[in-house]
Amino acid sequence: MKQVRLGRTGLQVSEICLGMMSYGNPAIRPWALDEGGADPFVRRAAEAGITFFDTADVYSVGASETITGRLLAKYFTHRDDYVLATKVHGRMSEAANDGGLSRKHILAAIDNSLRRLGTDHVDLYQIHRWDAETPIEETMEALHDVVRAGKARYIGASSMYAWQFSKAQHLARTNGWTPFVSMQNHYNLVYREEEREMLPLCADQGVGVIPWSPLARGLLAGNRGRGGERRTTRANNDPYGDSLYSEDDFNVVDANAELATERGVTPAQTALAWLLSNPAVTAPIVGATKLQHLEDAIAATDLTLDEKEIERLEAPYVPHRISGHS
């Protein structure tokens, strides 16, 4: 698989990132796979040349990080053979300071993540969401100290407003702190609000874009139907996904499915190929609970859409309220 630069950094990542949220504790997430179930996915990813893996401390309350660390050590000979990303922000317990982006929580969370992952550093340490209760100066200085301590090579951010991202970057550069090199945002064929401000900002500033939910929580792959139909375990246990999309989005879903049929590929492949056609996008983060999900993502990297096909996919889009920031 092709390796690409993450923004303007020298870091090379595969153009598909395997999202590890799907692997953890089924008692917490009914659709999640345990370590044994996750094993074939990491093995296949490694075989296909995927070198970029993304998790978070909050996924299955740490279980995802534990599984991720064990399986990456199993299928990669050297630590430098893969790029490991995790995130901080989510509440890990009822303790008052065990969540958010305070200095106290960040410095404790990185140590806990490294312990679960079984490594002495992560390549990309990301803030999972904006923390309105903590001054961004406190957060950015703490993240800089994580990098200076050698516990993270780079830092990244996730869904927020463009003004918030700009403020954080400005403060980092003004104070000589480490700036963000990536943005993990909510972006796919049925949610394109990021094209208004965030994507142009990232393109201008050389920030890598690694979208989450590139298949709209499976909507673009067919896990839901009109009228509230739910076709998979994930779709039946995903109230957050239900809040992101509406019946209006099925016009885009249908257009994508029709094109996929004409091209002789799956809807997941055309939806991912559309994302990869955008020069602002570095690597979509793809979740997989069936091996076909992973095969579709791998195949999408070899699928090229022409301008008319891209226009056809984009034509039915309707504007959305901003979502994915919470």
| pLDDT tens per residue, range 18-64 | 999 999 999 998 989 999 999 999 999 999 999 999 999 999 999 99
Backbone dihedral angles phi then psi of residue 213, each to the nearest 5 degrees: 55, 50
What is the model's pLDDT at position 183?
Answer: 98
Produce one character per residue of 159-189: b if its CB has 16 or more CB atoms within 10 Å, e if not: bbebeebeebbebbeeeebbbbbbbbbbbbb
| pLDDT tens per residue, range 262-282 | 999 999 999 999 999 999 999
Largest CA distance in the chain: 54
What is the model's pLDDT at position 244?
Answer: 78
Partner residues linked to 100 by β-bridges: none
Q: Active site residue: 23, 59, 187, 245, which one?
A: 59
What is the model's pLDDT at position 222?
Answer: 84
Mean pLDDT computed over 139-153 = 98
| pLDDT tens per residue, range 77-113 | 999 999 999 999 999 999 999 999 999 999 999 999 9
299, containing H or E segment: helix 291-300
pLDDT above 60: residue 217: yes
What is the model's pLDDT at position 224?
Answer: 72
pLDDT band of residue 238 (cuts 50, 70, 90) is: low
pTM exceeds cut of 0.75: yes
Is residue 198 helix, strand or coil? helix
Domain positions in the chain are 3-314
Question: Rounded to an integer, what distance in angstroms lies between the CA atom of residue 55 and that of residue 258?
Answer: 33
Q: For helices 291-300 and 267-276, give the axis angle rounded to 10 degrees.
A: 40
pLDDT above 60: residue 235: no
Distance of CA 71 to the CA centre of its chain: 19
- State the fold for domain 3-314: TIM Barrel (3.20.20)
Question: Rounded to an integer, what distance in angstroms lies between the CA atom of residue 215 and that of residue 257?
Answer: 12
β pairing state of 3-5 and 12-14: antiparallel
Backbone dihedral angles phi then psi of residue 53, each to the nearest 5 degrees: -135, 135
For residue 179, the 8-state DSSP code is P
- Our answer to whether residue 59 is catalytic in this structure is yes
What is the model's pLDDT at position 274?
Answer: 98
pLDDT above 70: residue 234: no
